Structure 1
Amino acid sequence: MLFIANILIGVVLLIHVYIVLLETVMFRTRGRKVFGLDKDKVEMMAPAMSNQGCYNGFLAAALAVALLHPDAAIANAFAVFGLACVAVAGIWGAVTVQKRILFVQTVPALLALAAHMLAH
């Protein structure tokens, strides 16, 4: 079960790396299409989205620590913290921005968290 949990954590990590890239370096191109924004809105929103991308980078970093840290207790703490933060952020995003965020962020995070908890 730990192997499956780690695969799911890795999937959530990769989703967040992609989100970081969409919100920062690719916001004016691919990000614009993904978020369905016109050019005027993109320019206005770019600084805030870059900041948001930074926060998503911190979530990705927590999940990377969860997968890579040699101390199991520390890895476990980062996994639970990182996945819980992703799930809450996804719920908030679904309420305030777009319901699709619930399925892109929250569902994978909760599946990974459930698998992780069952493995421990």
Structure 2
Amino acid sequence: MKLTSLILTGFVAIEHVFILVLEMFLWKTDFGRKVFQLTPETAEITETLAKNQGLYNGFLAAGLFWALFFIKDQNQKFQTILFFLVCIVIAGIYGSATAKFSILFSQGLPAFLALAMHWMAYQKQ
């Protein structure tokens, strides 16, 4: 169960690196506009906002990678992963309520599943 928790957490971290790349570097490309359903004009106007969002997604990914690979103390690892996954779940809920409902499933659900598995894995210790 612990291994599954770590794999799911790694998946969420990788997903947020992908979001970083989309928002910071691919926002105005055909691919980025298609993913976010943007017109070229809207992509141009919102580019700076998207880069900021991408940076925050990168921080979430960095926090998860830091916990997964560099924190050795198991209690600290548990707490750090818990913190970042809760942040992502809350962001998914907020994003689905304010921007696009599908964010709940594309970002919130993977983080929630990782969070639930993480909680169960560490409660058995």
TM-score by length of 2: 0.93
Deviations 1:6-53 (A, max 9, x none): 010011111101000000011111221100101000000000000011
Aligned mates of 2:76, 2:52 — CA distance in 1: 27
CA RMSD, Structure 1 to Structure 2 (Å)? 0.8
Q: Which amino acid aligns with 2:7?
A: I
2:92 alignment partner in structure 1:
90
Q: Percent identity?
A: 43
Q: Which runs of 4+ in 1 moved over 6 A?
A: none
Aligned mates of 2:27, 2:79 — CA distance in 1: 32
Pairing 1:99–2:101 present:
yes
Greater shift, 15-24 or 27-36, is seen at 27-36
Q: Which amino acid aligns with 2:89?
A: A
Aligned mates of 1:50, 1:56 — CA distance in 2: 10
Aligned mates of 1:72, 1:26 — CA distance in 2: 37
Mark the runs of 5 or more structure 2 residues left unpaired by the alignment. Answer: none
Aligned mates of 2:87, 2:66 — CA distance in 1: 14
Q: Which amino acid aligns with 2:27?
A: F
Aligned mates of 1:87, 1:4 — CA distance in 2: 18
Matches within 5 A, 1:39-78: 39-68=40-69, 69-78=71-80
TM-score by length of 1: 0.96
Matches within 5 A, 1:9-24: 9-24=9-24
